[in-house]
Structure formats: structure tokens, C-alpha cells
């Protein structure tokens, strides 16, 4: 017959966070009789150990959610019984939303991306001309690789519905109209990440946008022989990204930062 020693001091703990709390109780089960490879299972199933779904003594709504079992000597094992309770708050440490969307938490950042230009800081063409003895050589524009500032906005929010259609229909597109502080076609919906820790009841969503005042257009000039840009070449501009109505996302695109209260 097994011997169960409950509530060992080593390993007993209570952890509290905004989303709820967790209690760990440790049991030592000895005098196990199963084959060695089954003794951890035998210890977990012992009737002297609280089983999954059992309630913490003297409480309601605090139930066993997990067992962690490790060897505890010859024919013995330690069973860590983990109780958990939620405070109707998601794992993003945000209040669980009443409707579909929770509170926005916004992060604003800035970075750079490399672009090619033929104009200096005064917007003057960087023209290269051949020496006088090479009269037949055509002048061309020098191309420089420069770093252009690009802003970034990241939103974190808890949602009750998976963002399947948002991911399919909006990622990779630009804002079709002015939204918050951002002119039309300056915000690129760069990335969307959504994860659920509870089987799809709540979704922890991260929205990432990139900002470019030049509206993410494609620019180029005619390149002559050897890839040189002639001084008479005119810069052409094309719109290559589709747009979408970002107002349907119900995100705060104002200049304010929204902290968790």
C-alpha cells in the first residue's frame, strides 16, 4: 500500500499575477509497486493525491490543472499539484474585453531603411560630368545609398474573436484615408500575430505598422549603358501597394500613448 506525504515545504508556492494566481502543493508518494517505467503514472493517479479538477481546500473555483511528477527515490515519486484560478483577465495582463476588442497598448518606435537617391540634402541633382578631353562621354547622376527614417507602431490587444479575416484581407496594405495622425497611404500594415492560451476563448493580438511619409511608392529612372542614370532621365513614380480601411480595426492611431491602468 502506498504512503502519501502531503504538503511538503520544498516546492510549495503561491504565485499571483494580474490574470489570476497559481498554487503548488508537493506530495511524496512512496511504496510504489508498479514497474519502474510506470511508477510516475502510478504516483500521479494515487487517490491520496488531488486529481485534475479537484478544488483547493476551503475554496471554490480554484482547481487542479496540472501534475508535474519526478522520481523521489526507490519506489517513490514527488507529485507537484498545480491549482489555478483566473480573474477574468487575459494572459496579456489586460482586462478581459466586454465586447470583442480589449484595451490597446501602443508602442511607438523609429528606425531606418536603405534607399537609393541621386539628389543631395539640398535636393540638387548629383551630376557627374566627364573631363573636357572626353567630350563624347555623357554626364550621369551619381547614386548614393542613404538611410531614410521609418517609424513603427505596435499595438497589443486582447480580442475574443480570431483575427482570421484581418490577417487575410489587410496585412500588407496601406491606409486608404487619413487615420489619426497619419496621412493616407503612409501606414503599412506590416505584421499581425495572434495567439490563444486558452483554446480560442481569448486571443492575444499584436499589430505592427510601418510609417513612411512618401507613401511607400516605387520610384525609378531610366538607366542607360552600364547602368548609369542620365542627367535628363525623369524620375517616375508608381503605386504598387493596395489600400484598406484601417478604421475598421478600432485601433488608437492618435499620438497618445495608452497605458494599462
Burial-class residue 74 by CB neighbours within 10 Å (0-12, 13-18, 19+).
Answer: exposed
Biggest CA–CA distance in the chain, Å, is 106
Of 50-64, 117-131, 132-146, 229-243, where does mean pLDDT reach its minimum?
132-146
Of 116-120, 152-156, 176-180, 197-201, where does mean pLDDT reach its minimum?
197-201
Whether 28 and 76 have beta carbons less than 8 Å apart is answered as: yes
Strand partners, 204: 158, 195
Q: Which residues contact 123 (CB under 8 A, 6 or more apart)?
A: none
Per-residue model confidence (pLDDT) at position 109: 79
Query: Which among 185, 230, 191, 239 is positioned nearest to 211, based on CA atoms?
Result: 185
Per-residue model confidence (pLDDT) at position 261: 41
CA–centroid distance for 11 within its chain: 33
The whole-angstrom separation of Cα 53 and Cα 26 is 17
The whole-angstrom separation of Cα 163 and Cα 185 is 22
* Range of 13-22, 27-36, 77-86, 141-150 with top mean pLDDT: 27-36
Query: Which among 156, 149, 256 is positioned nearest to 210, based on CA atoms?
Result: 149
CA distances from 252 to 1, 201, 204, 261 (A): 63, 24, 17, 16
Per-residue model confidence (pLDDT) at position 39: 96
Q: What pLDDT, in 10s, does the model give residues 72-116? A: 999 999 999 999 887 666 667 676 777 778 777 888 877 787 888
- Three cell numbers at 123? 535636393
Per-residue model confidence (pLDDT) at position 177: 96
Q: What pLDDT, in 10s, does the model give residues 38-74? A: 999 999 999 999 999 999 999 888 999 999 999 999 9
The whole-angstrom separation of Cα 32 and Cα 79 is 13
Amino acid at each position: 500500500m502506498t504512503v502519501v506525504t502531503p504538503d511538503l515545504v520544498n516546492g510549495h508556492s503561491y504565485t499571483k499575477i494580474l490574470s489570476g494566481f497559481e498554487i503548488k502543493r508537493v506530495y511524496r508518494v512512496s511504496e510504489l509497486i508498479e514497474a519502474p517505467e510506470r511508477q510516475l503514472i502510478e504516483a500521479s493517479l494515487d487517490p491520496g493525491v488531488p486529481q485534475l479538477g479537484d478544488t483547493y481546500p476551503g475554496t471554490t473555483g480554484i482547481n487542479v490543472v496540472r501534475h508535474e511528477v519526478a522520481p523521489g527515490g526507490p519506489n517513490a515519486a514527488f507529485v507537484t499539484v498545480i491549482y489555478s484560478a483566473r480573474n477574468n483577465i487575459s494572459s496579456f495582463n489586460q482586462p478581459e474585453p466586454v465586447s470583442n476588442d480589449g484595451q490597446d497598448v501602443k508602442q511607438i518606435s523609429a528606425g531606418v531603411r536603405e534607399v537609393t537617391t541621386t539628389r543631395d540634402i539640398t535636393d540638387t541633382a548629383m551630376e557627374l560630368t566627364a573631363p573636357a578631353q572626353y567630350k563624347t562621354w555623357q554626364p550621369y547622376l551619381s547614386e548614393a545609398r542613404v538611410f531614410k527614417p521609418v517609424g513603427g507602431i505596435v499595438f497589443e490587444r486582447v480580442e475574443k474573436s480570431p483575427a482570421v479575416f484581418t490577417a487575410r484581407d489587410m496585412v500588407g496594405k496601406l491606409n486608404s484615408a487619413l487615420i489619426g495622425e497619419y496621412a493616407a497611404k503612409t501606414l503599412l500594415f506590416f505584421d499581425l500575430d495572434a495567439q490563444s492560451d486558452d483554446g480560442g476563448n481569448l486571443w492575444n493580438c499584436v499589430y505592427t505598422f510601418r510609417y513612411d511619409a512618401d507613401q511607400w511608392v516605387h520610384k525609378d529612372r531610366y538607366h542607360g549603358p552600364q547602368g548609369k542614370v542620365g542627367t535628363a532621365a525623369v524620375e517616375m513614380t508608381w503605386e504598387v501597394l493596395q489600400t484598406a480601411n484601417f478604421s475598421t480595426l478600432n485601433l488608437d492611431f492618435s499620438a497618445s500613448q495608452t497605458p494599462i491602468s
